[in-house]
């Protein structure tokens, strides 16, 4: 459960005297990104992780970072000035213990961002249960194309920049605001640490069942986040999400809405779609109307674009600048990412693991590829998707698929059988609804089955918050062997 407030920062030496930083849990996506940012700024960075293996380990090594496997007090060099502790670390972690015993200053990841990277920047924070990564990456691209030279810190690799961070010289700094907790010594949502000039709340749903007991507790943390946005700034909120609007109402900043209804400050209507993206007409209550193409698919991505546009307007862009840049936005890896095509069989990788994300992603894929037979394979691996809390919501989420394949949930946890989602029950429910459904536990066996049965014109979408055992690459390789055809791209 979330603590009531951020901790008070410990005594720190002058920040300009800190040059050597050690990171506990360096191979986490956010922690590795922070390490690379410190290194780019000229700090000496070391780090350790119990799971120091590719791709994160090689990504860090390519940036000259020293990674040590496992946790040991000796990993913290005698001349270390600061330790940054990831939320993977418990209080009894040998390096955390050594940090305290040696009297070294230690910070969480968002505390380090706030102190070392956010000062003298205009912080634009994107929050919500869904769409944070995509909205943040769209916003970063809009600002970049307008010449504002933004910085960003995002939870996914943007294809336009081939990176999940950037340290620009301009005023705007885009950050993906995560409601997950921070560190063992600072059990608050990460976004409570972000001094935002402007913010977006895309949506508010139940998630992170390992730390939040109910939706009311999630609304509470979003409400407190909204209340801390700069009173001189603005909160852009999804005007069709009642929970999000209730949370935004706690802001003393100006509140503006985005969505599809004409009663929103910023609204859009779809005018068409094809495999190149979605065509929209976008209207701002005071700034007029523009038309153009956004290079993403699905209603949820139109809404993501609207949220990004609202924040971009707050940073000084025009509507026309936003719609012009939208056509060259290339998306985020693992978000409707086409991994390859073999003999006209398309293989897509996506991060979707919450019922809403599964439903919207498959609906977007159906919109983009209306005539293809869609195979949807799903792996329950996140802290929430493994739990029974969404047992009754998942079946309807697969409505846009023609064939559903369910993998066994990740087993390395302490959940009881009653707490875990029942994949056999889920398969039975979907099958009873008349949809072809298969329960195939191992991703390797999923790849074998799909590669043997898929036909030209089909599409496979593997949905998982993780790598799904490499199923996408394996399917492509097996299809290539079956049809004696190369792996290509659309």
What's this model's pTM, rounded to 2 decimal places?
A: 0.87
- Per-residue pLDDT, 239: 98
Cβ proximity of 218 and 207 under 8 Å: yes
Whether 192 shows a pLDDT value over 80: the answer reads yes
18-107 domain in CATH 3.50.50.60? no
- Per-residue pLDDT, 480: 97
Domain 337-483 CATH class label: alpha beta
Whether 4 shows a pLDDT value over 90: the answer reads no
- The domain at 118-326 falls in which architecture? 3-Layer(aba) Sandwich (3.40)
Cβ proximity of 132 and 205 under 8 Å: no
| pLDDT confidence bin for 277, thresholds 50/70/90 | confident
Average pLDDT of the chain to the nearest whole number: 93
- Per-residue pLDDT, 60: 86
Q: Distance from first CA to last CA of the chain, Å, rounded? A: 45
- Per-residue pLDDT, 54: 64
Q: Would you call 103 exposed, middle or buried from its count of C-beta atoms within 10 A (0-12, 13-18, 19+)?
A: exposed
Q: Which of 30-34, 60-64, 211-215, 413-417 has the highest mean pLDDT?
A: 30-34
Q: What are the residue ranges spanned by the domains of the chain?
A: 18-107, 118-326, 337-483
Whether 3 shows a pLDDT value over 90: the answer reads no
- Per-residue pLDDT, 45: 96
Q: What percent of the chain has pLDDT over 90?
A: 74
Nearest to 375 by CA among 471, 470, 304, 290: 471
Mean pLDDT across 302-313: 97
């Amino acid at each position: 459960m979330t603590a009531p407030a951020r901790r008070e920062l410990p005594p720190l030496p002058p920040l300009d005297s800190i040059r050597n930083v050690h990171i506990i849990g360096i191979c986490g996506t956010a922690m590795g990104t922070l390490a690379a940012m410190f290194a780019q700024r000229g700090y000496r960075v070391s780090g350790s992780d119990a799971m120091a293996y590719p791709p994160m380990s090689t990504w860090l090594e390519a940036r000259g970072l020293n990674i040590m496997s496992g946790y040991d007090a000796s990993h913290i060099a005698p001349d270390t000035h600061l330790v940054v502790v990831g939320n993977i670390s418990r209080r009894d972690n040998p390096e955390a213990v050594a940090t305290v015993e040696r009297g070294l200053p230690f910070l969480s990841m968002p505390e380090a961002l706030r102190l070392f990277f956010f000062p003298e920047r205009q912080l634009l924070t994107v929050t919500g249960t869904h769409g944070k990564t995509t909205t943040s990456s769209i916003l970063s691209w809009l600002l970049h194309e307008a010449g504002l030279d933004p910085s960003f810190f995002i939870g996914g690799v943007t294809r336009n920049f081939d990176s999940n961070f950037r340290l620009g010289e301009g005023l705007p700094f885009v950050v993906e605001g995560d409601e997950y907790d921070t560190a063992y010594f600072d059990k608050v949502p990460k976004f409570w640490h972000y001094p935002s000039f402007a913010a977006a709340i895309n949506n508010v749903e139940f998630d992170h069942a390992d730390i939040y007991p109910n939706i009311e507790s999630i609304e509470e943390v979003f409400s407190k986040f909204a209340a801390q946005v700069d009173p001189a700034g603005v909160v852009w909120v999804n005007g069709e999400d009642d929970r999000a609007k209730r949370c935004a109402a706690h802001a003393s900043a100006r509140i503006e809405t985005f969505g599809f209804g004409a009663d929103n400050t910023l609204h859009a209507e779809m005018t068409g779609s094809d495999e190149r993206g979605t065509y929209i007409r976008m209207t701002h209550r005071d700034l007029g109307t523009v038309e153009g193409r956004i290079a993403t698919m699905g209603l949820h991505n139109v809404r993501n674009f609207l949220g990004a546009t609202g924040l971009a307007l707050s940073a000084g862009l025009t509507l026309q600048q936003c719609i012009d840049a939208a056509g060259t936005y290339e998306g985020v890896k693992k978000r409707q990412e086409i991994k390859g095509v073999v003999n006209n069989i398309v293989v897509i990788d996506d991060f979707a693991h919450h019922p809403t994300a599964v439903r919207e992603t498959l609906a977007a894929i159906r919109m983009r590829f209306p005539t293809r037979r869609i195979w949807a394979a799903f792996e329950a691996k996140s802290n929430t998707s493994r739990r029974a809390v969404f047992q009754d919501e998942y079946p309807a989420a697969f409505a846009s698929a023609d064939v559903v394949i369910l993998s066994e949930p990740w087993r390395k946890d302490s959940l009881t059988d009653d707490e875990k989602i029942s994949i056999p029950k889920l398969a039975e429910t979907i099958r009873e609804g008349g949809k072809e459904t298969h329960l195939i536990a191992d991703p390797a066996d999923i790849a074998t089955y799909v590669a043997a049965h898929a036909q030209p014109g089909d599409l496979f979408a593997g949905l998982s918050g993780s790598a799904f055992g490499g199923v996408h690459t394996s399917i492509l390789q097996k299809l290539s062997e079956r049809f004696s055809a190369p792996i290509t791209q659309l």
